[in-house]
Amino acid sequence: MNRENIVNALLKLLSSSVSFTTVSRKFQTWSSISSSEKPAMFLLERSESYIRANEAVPEVVTLEIDLYICVDAGKDQSLVPASVLNNLIDAVEAALTPNKLTNSQTLGGLVSHCRIEGKIIKNSGDLDGDATAIIPIKILVPR
């Protein structure tokens, strides 16, 4: 397993499939990002877990990565910031769509599965125009 190759493959897939102005593995606070730098996407490596069913089989490693998205919909009262955010979440979901043959997103064969798994946390941005989301991504890496 090469963690850097896996995370960089995920970053490349998402940044080539979704229209983000700023893409990074290094998190920045929303207030430090100018409107011209949004929509922004950040990947944060959260945790890893090792599970072994028994001693006869190798462990399965799960990498957990949070994908942070921030969009600036401005103060235009006719625009719904959550709508802009929802379109980006849909694009991320589409980018992670499983391969029809293998029924999984393998990041080019580096992993067995890469998918959204868990609760997406959203801030609609109605008060300040900055809509945000945290999307949990799990990557299964057999050993």
36-84: pLDDT as tens digits: 899 999 999 999 999 887 888 888 899 999 999 999 877 667 777 788 8
pLDDT of residue 129 exceeding 80: no
Geometric angle at alpha carbon 43, from 40 and 48, rounded to 5°: 165
Q: For the whole model, what pTM was predicted?
A: 0.89
The CATH number of whichever domain residue 113 belongs to comes to 3.30.70.1700
For the chain, how many structural domains are there in total? 1
The β-bridge partners of 69 are 41, 133
Provide the pLDDT for residue 54: 83
Provide the pLDDT for residue 94: 93
Reported confidence tier of residue 136, pLDDT bands at 50, 70, 90: very high
pLDDT one-digit tens code per residue, 1-27: 799 999 999 999 999 888 899 999 999
Provide the pLDDT for residue 30: 80
Beta strands at 113-116 and 130-142: parallel, antiparallel or unpaired: antiparallel
Average pLDDT (109-124) is 94
Phi-psi category of residue 4: left, alpha or beta, with phi > 0 → left and psi -120 to 50 → alpha: alpha
Q: Domain range holding 69?
A: 3-142
Provide the pLDDT for residue 7: 96
- What is 53-97 written as a DSSP string? SSTTS--EEEEEEEEEEEEE-TT-TTS-HHHHHHHHHHHHHHHTP
Higher pLDDT, 99 or 20: 20
